């Protein structure tokens, strides 16, 4: 007779997995996968040969010989890249290597967020972040965006309203450069305005730059943290998930020591995977900029294929603004389309999409929106998958009425 | 003017780090570091060249193309090693790759433990585990050990006492093979007795075999999980931290799907580091057994040096039982020695030790005990460090009175 686990489980668990994983859908437009053609495989092999021969024996110690903030050459590499690519002077002592940027976001949450706390966030934002915040039982207030990112008039008004109720948010979370999912970029002027508002209301800013390397439509603006010039108003995180590969699981937090010292005791994972830190430091030091330039050319070409497919298959039914970089297209369909239902119908036929309701603070606002990640599928898969999605959408909701100039 | 972080922090945080990490102590006998000479550097380099050339492009997707349980070839490798080395038939579907075995332990805790719950644990056990349980606000009941591991008479009596109070523990946690810190091994007979007791009281067993590969003084007994023969009474975890290198951060959970399915949604880390999973699977498939044999010969030699040093420097003041494998010596000093104070005095002079109070359920029991990890320091460092420790102990507590046949 088998033990009955159900009586042992906590009573607040998420639903269990239905069955073991059985492979990717044929047309996979969800999440944050990147382009397999651009993983720098040979560069990583060469890096492994050099760095493991030189320092492989240090794997015998937790944290190598670099302490809990992570492999020192990688922290230096992050600091130098931030200085070189964004003009943000950074020291290795301000950098904490994490297992992806979500890990950095979680550690900051562990340090700051208690149940009942309030924080401000872009109305459209990363779905996984929202579900984690919900678990923390915090009050998430969404601030609307326009084509230049988070709207400063709305932010100022929201902070004023909260102050009138005696509520001071723990921080303002923003993805200012290639926002996820909207692809917008906040201008230098707006960043300065954001800083001014945050200072006036005495609120911390959490700047998430995890997509910032994938910007091709304009020059990269200075980070908000660099504009603060050591004022301690901004903590920052970034990632190699999009610029090199997500399965590496390497991100980083950048903060003053005065903040960092409180975060370190919360990182109880025995260190972030050291082999990957070593390979990445060894590879990225000399190759990162050229790699990203090449990667972005490839992404830009795939975006063009995706845009052409959506315009051809959905016609005027699909509204979107061209993203300035990144890996996703954020689309508004006619009001009669419920994208959560569309996603279910599409999944049954091998097309995976992120319904808008999962990527916004207010599910109603996301109801007819969807997010399509174009980085991983081949150009053929993009064309075929979008055609299939349009066909399913027409069948379920009656739109689009015309596809590829053919009446349905 | 800088932002004041102190008003933003949660009020239940652990003490902040005092300063950035500044290097290892000269004589480092703490934690779970292993021997740098035995990290299979060249094997990992060769593995990297092969596996990244073949499958490097799959790093572009979260979880490679293996789903949330981890890289399939590594899960197969774990399953085959368990069958081959312990006789436990295991399928890849029962294996979840985690970022070290602590991560497996944490995930099981997330699934099972709510504040106020009770669990049973060996009285002497891994310190980090105890501090994490304390944070969960659970009731930890210690079961004493003898030279054959957890005492079954004490376990049965404890379960009876709890039942009389209407308390049913969530699980019995045990390290049956090369227990940390005592180095004991539970016999096959005792394992069968443990299973019988657990079944009679209807309690789950959590078997932690993270040190089990480092057993040299006797043949490895069958795992408790294998003796249960599919009864679902036992969940199991293991690790490559001790057998290959801790900085890899690769461990695994083994459980029936019926349990596994509840754990998977709790693993929200975007997957365990995939480069390391790939390298490890590629390396371990053909080399693991020979590597471990070689490693164990080296550890056994270092243990001999440590034992000789302790006997020479502490004489009859140090009582211990020779561990059957592993990387630590667990020592009892005379009652007048407070090892927490000794650890502080020693740290100031470059000798790091784990005081017993941090590795037992009842701090009083650990007061005069200490744990010395001998795997990482060189033989010279072991000799010199133990001599220095004896000198400090004599100065602070008056014992040992004789060292290396010289009266102090």
Half-sphere exposure of B244 (CA within 13 A, CB side): 28
> Residue B261 pLDDT more than 60?
yes
> What CATH number labels A41-287?
3.40.640.10
Please answer yes or no on whether B41 and A32 come within 8 Å at the CB atom.
Answer: no
Testing the interface with A: which of B247, B280, B352, B375 to mutate, by most A Cβ within 10 A?
B247
> Residue B405 pLDDT more than 80?
no
* Separation of alpha carbons B186 and B193, rounded Å: 11
* Separation of alpha carbons A163 and A142, rounded Å: 16
Residue, of A404 and A141, whose pLDDT is higher: A141
**Averaged over B130-158, what is the pLDDT?**
96
Reported as a pLDDT band with limits 50, 70 and 90, residue B127 is: confident
* A291 interface with B at CB cutoff 8 Å: no
pLDDT digits (tens, 9 = 90+) for B302-350: 999 999 999 999 999 999 999 999 999 999 999 999 999 999 999 999 9
**Could you say which residues from 358 to 377 on chain B have a Cβ atom under 8 Å away from some Cβ of chain A?**
375-376
> Residue A405 pLDDT more than 90?
no
A96, containing H or E segment? strand A95-98
Please answer yes or no on whether B33 and A60 come within 8 Å at the CB atom.
Answer: yes
* B116 interface with A at CB cutoff 8 Å: no
Contact list in B for residue A114 (CB cut-off 8 A) is 10-11
Closest to A142 in 3D by CA, of A172, A107, A163 = A172
Give the per-residue pLDDT at B384: 98
Q: Which residues contact B131 (CB under 8 A, 6 or more apart)?
A: none
Contact list in A for residue B38 (CB cut-off 8 A) is 60
Reported as a pLDDT band with limits 50, 70 and 90, residue B42 is: very high
The ranges of chain A annotated as CATH 3.40.640.10 are 41-287
For residue A16, give the nearest of B35, B66, B261 by CB distance.
Answer: B261
* B286 interface with A at CB cutoff 8 Å: no
Closest to A212 in 3D by CA, of A163, A175, A245 = A175
pLDDT digits (tens, 9 = 90+) for A199-219: 999 999 999 999 999 999 999
Closest to B206 in 3D by CA, of B295, B108, B126, B296 = B108
Give the per-residue pLDDT at A298: 97
pLDDT digits (tens, 9 = 90+) for B43-58: 999 999 999 999 999 9
The ranges of chain A annotated as CATH 3.90.1150.10 are 23-40+290-407
Residue A172 phi/psi, 5° resolution? -105, 115
What mean pLDDT is reported for chain A? Answer: 95
Give the per-residue pLDDT at A46: 98
Q: Give residue B372's region: left, alpha or beta (phi > 0; psi -120 to 50).
A: beta
Give the per-residue pLDDT at A65: 87
Quickly list H helices, B152-263: 152-164, 188-201, 224-228, 257-263
Residue A41: exposure state from Cβ atoms within 10 A (0-12, 13-18, ≥19): middle
Residue B9: exposure state from Cβ atoms within 10 A (0-12, 13-18, ≥19): middle
Cβ atoms < 10 Å from Cβ of A167: 13
- In this structure, what token pair is assigned to residue B165? 């109070």
Q: How far is A317 from chain B (nearest CA, A)?
A: 30
pLDDT digits (tens, 9 = 90+) for A331-387: 999 999 999 999 999 999 999 999 999 999 988 999 999 999 999 999 999 999 999
Q: Which residues contact B278 (CB under 8 A, 6 or more apart)?
A: B47, B51, B52, B55, B64, B71, B73, B74
Q: How far is B70 from chain A (nearest CA, A)?
A: 10
Please answer yes or no on whether A246 and B59 come within 8 Å at the CB atom.
Answer: yes
- In this structure, what token pair is assigned to residue A38? 């651009």
Please answer yes or no on whether A170 and B8 come within 8 Å at the CB atom.
Answer: yes
Please answer yes or no on whether B248 and A63 come within 8 Å at the CB atom.
Answer: no
* B13 interface with A at CB cutoff 8 Å: yes
Give the per-residue pLDDT at B98: 98
> Residue B119 pLDDT more than 60?
yes
pLDDT digits (tens, 9 = 90+) for B167-223: 999 999 999 999 999 999 999 999 999 999 999 999 999 999 999 999 999 999 999
* A388 interface with B at CB cutoff 8 Å: no
* Separation of alpha carbons B105 and B112, rounded Å: 11
Give whole-number Cα distances, A9 to A16, A38, A143, in Å.
Answer: 11, 43, 38
**Averaged over A117-125, what is the pLDDT?**
97
What end-to-end distance do the CA atoms of chain A give, in Å?
58
**Averaged over B291-301, what is the pLDDT?**
97
Q: How far is B395 from chain A (nearest CA, A)?
A: 31
Testing the interface with B: which of A32, A61, A99 to mutate, by most B Cβ within 10 A?
A61
- In this structure, what token pair is assigned to residue A76? 């230096």
Reported as a pLDDT band with limits 50, 70 and 90, residue B408 is: confident
Reported as a pLDDT band with limits 50, 70 and 90, residue A404 is: low
Residue A309 phi/psi, 5° resolution? -65, -45
Reported as a pLDDT band with limits 50, 70 and 90, residue A131 is: confident
Contact list in A for residue B376 (CB cut-off 8 A) is 60-61
Q: Give residue A31's region: left, alpha or beta (phi > 0; psi -120 to 50).
A: left
Query: Is the Cβ–Cβ distance between A310 and A320 less than 8 Å?
Result: yes
Query: Is the Cβ–Cβ distance between A178 and A215 less than 8 Å?
Result: yes
Give the per-residue pLDDT at A68: 95
- In this structure, what token pair is assigned to residue B229? 């023969």
Reported as a pLDDT band with limits 50, 70 and 90, residue A408 is: confident
Contact list in A for residue B270 (CB cut-off 8 A) is 99-100, 102, 241, 246, 249
Residue, of A406 and A380, whose pLDDT is higher: A380
**Averaged over B117-131, what is the pLDDT?**
92
Residue B208 DSSP one-character state: E
Please answer yes or no on whether B275 and A274 come within 8 Å at the CB atom.
Answer: no
**Averaged over B391-408, what is the pLDDT?**
85
ipTM of the complex: 0.95
Contact list in B for residue A264 (CB cut-off 8 A) is 16-17
Give whole-number Cα distances, B315 to B329, B333, B334, in Å.
Answer: 15, 10, 11
* Separation of alpha carbons B134 and A369, rounded Å: 45
Report the DSSP pairing between strands B251-254 and B95-98: antiparallel
Query: Is the Cβ–Cβ distance between B353 and B370 less than 8 Å?
Result: yes
Closest to B248 in 3D by CA, of B213, B272, B282, B271 = B272
- CA-nearest residue to A274 within chain B is B247
* Separation of alpha carbons A338 and A366, rounded Å: 9
**Could you say which residues from 138 to 167 on chain B have a Cβ atom under 8 Å away from some Cβ of chain A?**
none
- Find the range with the poorest average confidence among A59-63, A346-350, A392-396: A59-63
Give the per-residue pLDDT at B63: 87
Percent of chain A with pLDDT over 70: 99
> Residue B404 pLDDT more than 70?
no
Query: Is the Cβ–Cβ distance between B21 and A95 less than 8 Å?
Result: no
Residue A192: exposure state from Cβ atoms within 10 A (0-12, 13-18, ≥19): middle
Q: Which residues contact B50 (CB under 8 A, 6 or more apart)?
A: B282
For residue A279, give the nearest of B39, B64, B275 by CB distance.
Answer: B275
* Separation of alpha carbons B293 and A184, rounded Å: 57
Give the per-residue pLDDT at A230: 83
**Could you say which residues from 165 to 194 on chain A have a Cβ atom under 8 Å away from some Cβ of chain B?**
170-171
> Residue A283 pLDDT more than 70?
yes
Please answer yes or no on whether B21 and A66 come within 8 Å at the CB atom.
Answer: yes
* A133 interface with B at CB cutoff 8 Å: no
Please answer yes or no on whether A57 and B64 come within 8 Å at the CB atom.
Answer: no
Reported as a pLDDT band with limits 50, 70 and 90, residue B296 is: very high
**DSSP β-bridge partners for residue A332:** A319, A369
Report the DSSP pairing between strands B118-122 and B139-143: parallel
For residue A36, give the nearest of B11, B17, B60 by CB distance.
Answer: B60
Give the per-residue pLDDT at B231: 87
Render B144-160 in DSSP notation, one character per residue: -EETTEE-HHHHHHHHH
Render B350-386 in DSSP notation, one character per residue: TEE-EEGGGGBSSHHHHTTEEEEE-SSS-HHHHHHHH
Give the per-residue pLDDT at A4: 87
Please answer yes or no on whether A68 and B21 come within 8 Å at the CB atom.
Answer: yes
Give the per-residue pLDDT at A258: 95
Give the per-residue pLDDT at A238: 98
CATH architecture entry for B23-40+290-407: Alpha-Beta Complex (3.90)
Percent of chain A with pLDDT over 90: 92
* A268 interface with B at CB cutoff 8 Å: yes
Q: How far is A296 from chain B (nearest CA, A)?
A: 15
Query: Is the Cβ–Cβ distance between B241 and B268 less than 8 Å?
Result: no
For the CA atoms of B212, B216, B222, B224, what is the dihedral angle to 10 degrees?
-40
> Residue B403 pLDDT more than 80?
no
């Amino acid at each position: 007779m088998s033990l009955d686990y159900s009586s042992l489980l906590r009573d607040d668990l998420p639903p269990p997995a239905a069955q073991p994983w059985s492979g990717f859908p044929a047309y996979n437009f969800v999440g944050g996968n990147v382009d397999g053609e651009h993983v720098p495989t040979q560069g990583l092999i060469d890096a492994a040969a050099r760095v493991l021969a030189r320092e492989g024996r240090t794997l015998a110690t937790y944290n190598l010989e670099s302490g809990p903030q992570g492999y020192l050459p990688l922290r230096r590499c992050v600091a130098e890249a931030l200085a070189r690519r964004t003009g943000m002077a950074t020291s290795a002592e301000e950098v904490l290597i994490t297992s992806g940027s979500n890990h950095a976001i979680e550690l900051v949450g562990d340090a700051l967020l208690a149940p009942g706390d309030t924080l401000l966030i872009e109305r459209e934002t990363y779905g996984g972040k929202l579900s984690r915040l919900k678990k923390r039982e915090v009050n998430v207030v969404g601030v609307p965006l326009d084509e230049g990112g988070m709207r400063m008039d709305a932010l100022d008004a929201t902070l004023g309203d909260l102050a009138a109720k005696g509520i001071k948010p723990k921080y303002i979370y923003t993805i200012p450069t290639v926002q996820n999912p909207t692809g917008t970029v906040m201008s230098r002027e707006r960043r300065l305005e954001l800083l001014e508002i945050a200072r006036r209301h005495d609120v911390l800013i959490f700047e998430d730059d995890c997509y910032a390397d994938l910007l091709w439509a304009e020059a990269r603006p200075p980070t908000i943290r660099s504009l603060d010039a050591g004022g301690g108003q901004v903590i920052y995180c970034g990632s190699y998930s999009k610029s090199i590969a997500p399965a590496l699981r390497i991100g980083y937090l950048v903060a003053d020591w005065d903040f960092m010292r409180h975060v370190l005791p919360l990182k109880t994972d025995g260190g972030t995977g050291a082999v990957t830190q070593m390979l990445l430091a060894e590879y990225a030091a000399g190759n990162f900029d050229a790699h990203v330039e090449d990667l972005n050319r490839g992404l830009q070409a795939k975006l063009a294929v995706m845009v052409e497919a959506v315009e051809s298959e959905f016609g005027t039914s699909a509204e979107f603004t061209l993203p300035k970089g990144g890996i996703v297209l954020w689309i508004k369909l006619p009001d009669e389309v419920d994208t959560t239902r569309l996603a279910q119908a599409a999944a049954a036929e091998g097309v995976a999409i992120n319904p808008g309701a999962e990527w916004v603070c207010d599910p109603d606002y996301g109801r007819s929106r969807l997010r399509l990640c174009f980085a991983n599928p081949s150009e053929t898969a993009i064309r075929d998958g979008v055609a299939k999605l349009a066909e399913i959408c027409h069948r379920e909701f009656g739109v689009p009425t015309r596809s590829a100039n053919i009446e349905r």
